[in-house]
Structure 1
């Protein structure tokens, strides 16, 4: 299930910008020289054949808002690379990562000044790959996928202008996903913390038992459906989007109807705070007050609870997230791309691979100021991820996520705010008994598809 696509605003921006500049795979120089995204490039950067040559010369490396907290780490990686390759020099640039980050990066690409090695997210990878600004690693580095987990590498492909899926980025770090829960409250509800649910609807069944036992003194989780979609649907195996990412299809699956009916039943039964249906409450805060059985699925949440509610932390259990019908979890990582416009592509590619190798990914993951998980198989096998001392929830979560990352894919669907709001609003009506589940889903799908069409 290929999930990545551009948000509407970015798609519009790209269409307008490319039209204005005349850039594109069919554009570029009037002579017979090699081009990428309309820029003149070394002919070795495009077409078939692996890159080869000496690792030397100057390159630029751009990250996104990382220098303040992790300067020592990245300076160390750069120094080690330059020591290994005395003829190479890396200039590190750190973008603040504000709301105009992608637009600036695309503008750099169109101006043929994209940094040689760049840290990008899924949406930016889609844009740059589609317009030819990143090296095709299948051609230029056929063995590039060896260090990474098979599932992550296989799923980290993006379409070029002709629709062909290629590897244009190296997977880097990602977050994780786990079940977290208040063991005391589970026991009060007659549930065994040692037997957590293995499916989304199984979780709903447990939530119904919690509602019956709690008498409104505590709840299973918050009601706002935006907190659960489309993640729940993906785990249930629902086809949320068409293969080309240009049409929503979730309303056509009976499993989605069962999900909405389940949410409606739980809301009516009191498994969720009634005032949380359309609120933007932070589940972490409510969990920290001892009023929710299930906490956030983000492992970093455990650090928050440990620091702010140590008594609740001691009661917190951790388990693998329900794999459900999908059989694995999804979670798009941050990526490292190499510009096809680089004047020192051999050096840029060598640095990108050095940065993302098992040793360097593991070193950063061990930094106590960050909760990230590497994409390389060997890093995830390190004792740092496998050793659990005592009953520490965070250490247990780290071990669980490391195991999960071995099979997780990059097929996470990221809805735009407009799409999420349009879909959630209809589900909220169903949960209030104002619409049937199917009617709400049909309308949600229609409104979300209209947003895609408006975005072009």
Structure 2
């Protein structure tokens, strides 16, 4: 199961060393009216040309569901930034990051009330970029890309209203992708935990072994395909949309129908709990009870298991998520963006770059109670990530993902909730035996195209 939000409580926060990140922002304000979306802004915030101006003024920084676990850390970052820039001040707010986040954030943008600096996922960044509400940091600071692993910097490119790419975000932290599994349950099904499959269909074959061996006493995974679309298709390098994002083409690849056929077969044979087909619950609870063999692909999942089920944690193994057709891991990070509507854009961009610099990323990701990873090259070269020696699941997850990240594609197909739900609904019908896999794929693509056409 793919997940991007951290869970649980983090004990202890790494002290942050003072680093005044230089943004290269100087000179006078580029005053005068222009527009971003439907809002009046300083003309220096939009168009071509480097952003100039003093780092001063009040700005608002918004995260999503991080204040409870990371309050001390981010308050420290803010204090250090304000110390380095005495004329600037930062107000921190925290959004719950629920399933209405994109809708609410777009509404704030249309009301010209976006926070100055925002923690965004790819879906929300896509929507805001298309409407012109985010600062193009790649243009406004030509050196912005330098700290980041190239794939992560490339992943921060979204398309504007004209369909042109724009670097409207800075890549922040990422979770990586791993297999987590109950070694005892795999052994009972005749599966060697030390030899994880290298393809998704190979993984599905292991799911089938579990269904045959368990006799309903435990399961391989959860049924709802919402956890796997588009993640599995991306991993298999099945192209879901045309280059301009205006049409669905996933049905043109025969492997899509094969994937749906596998899902239907596995559901029928008992590899998945019947009542999980339409449930949004991830495998956390059932895995912790020893009733599901495979857990979340988010490395932070091992922390949840350790806290909630030490006996299952002792049986938990961590392995490589199938490389499949791509030959390397995928997945997009969380992002930090600057609102093009910011009244103090130089200070906002300075803070965004300070927050995401190597020193701050390394300090946060070293917290011993969480498994997250930085997006800067310097951070990933830190001995903390390169010289992992422990054999516990935490250490193994850190080591495995750190090895992946320098060559990751950081790729993720961005689907609107409506399009994703339309595809998922058709797959669910196939899994229930109400449609053939081929018909479900055809109908899913047709329905996706209808929605994409309506969206323009």
With the length of structure 1 as denominator, give the TM-score of the two structures: 0.83
Deviations 1:330-372 (A, max 9, x none): 3332221223333332222211111110111122223356543
Give SS of 1:256's match: helix
CA–CA distance in structure 2, aligned partners of residues 218 and 98 of structure 1: 30
Deviations 1:167-191 (A, max 9, x none): 0111112323210112222223322
CA–CA distance in structure 1, aligned partners of residues 338 and 280 of structure 2: 38
User: Corresponding residue for 2:178?
Assistant: 178
Structure 1 422/135 Cα, relative in aligned 2: closer, same or farther at 3 Å?
A: closer
Give SS of 2:93's match: strand
Structure 1 261/118 Cα, relative in aligned 2: closer, same or farther at 3 Å?
A: closer
1:149 is the counterpart of 2:154: no
Deviations 1:202-253 (A, max 9, x none): 1122233333444444332233333322211111111122223232222111
CA contact (8 A) 2:216 2:270 kept: yes
User: Corresponding residue for 1:72?
Assistant: 72
Structure 1 428/123 Cα, relative in aligned 2: closer, same or farther at 3 Å?
A: closer
Unaligned runs of 5+ residues in structure 1 are: 1-30
CA contact (8 A) 1:238 1:250 kept: yes
Q: Which moved more, 1:225-234 or 1:141-150?
A: 225-234
Give SS of 1:147's match: coil
CA contact (8 A) 1:365 1:374 kept: yes
1:349 is the counterpart of 2:349: yes
Give SS of 1:115's match: coil
Q: How does 1:116-135 map to 2 (within 5 A)?
A: 116-135=116-135
CA–CA distance in structure 2, aligned partners of residues 75 and 344 of structure 1: 20
User: Corresponding residue for 1:372?
Assistant: 372
Give the C-alpha shift of residue 387 in structure 1.
4.4
Give the C-alpha shift of residue 255 in structure 1.
0.6
CA–CA distance in structure 2, aligned partners of residues 363 and 108 of structure 1: 32
Unaligned runs of 5+ residues in structure 2 are: 1-30
User: Corresponding residue for 2:251?
Assistant: 251
CA–CA distance in structure 2, aligned partners of residues 138 and 122 of structure 1: 17
CA contact (8 A) 2:156 2:335 kept: no
Give the C-alpha shift of residue 259 in structure 1.
1.2
Structure 1 156/310 Cα, relative in aligned 2: closer, same or farther at 3 Å?
A: same
Deviations 1:235-278 (A, max 9, x none): 11111222232322221110111112222333344433445444
Structure 1 33/204 Cα, relative in aligned 2: closer, same or farther at 3 Å?
A: closer
Q: Which moved more, 1:294-303 or 1:401-410?
A: 401-410
User: Corresponding residue for 2:401?
Assistant: 401
CA–CA distance in structure 2, aligned partners of residues 213 and 32 of structure 1: 70
User: Corresponding residue for 2:314?
Assistant: 314
Give the C-alpha shift of residue 317 in structure 1.
0.8
Structure 1 128/315 Cα, relative in aligned 2: closer, same or farther at 3 Å?
A: same
Structure 1 342/225 Cα, relative in aligned 2: closer, same or farther at 3 Å?
A: closer
User: Corresponding residue for 1:197?
Assistant: 197
1:222 is the counterpart of 2:217: no
User: Corresponding residue for 2:239?
Assistant: 239
CA contact (8 A) 2:123 2:415 kept: no
Q: Which moved more, 1:400-409 or 1:308-317?
A: 400-409
Deviations 1:115-140 (A, max 9, x none): 33222232332233223332222221
CA–CA distance in structure 2, aligned partners of residues 42 and 277 of structure 1: 50
User: Corresponding residue for 1:330?
Assistant: 330
User: Corresponding residue for 1:286?
Assistant: 286
Give SS of 1:209's match: helix
Give the C-alpha shift of residue 455 in structure 1.
4.9
CA–CA distance in structure 1, aligned partners of residues 394 and 406 of structure 2: 19
Give SS of 2:186's match: helix
CA–CA distance in structure 1, aligned partners of residues 40 and 455 of structure 2: 30
Give SS of 2:70's match: helix
Give SS of 2:118's match: strand
Deviations 1:395-450 (A, max 9, x none): 21122222333333453235455444433343333334443221121122223333
Give SS of 2:223's match: coil
What do you get for the CA RMSD once the two structures are aligned?
Answer: 2.8
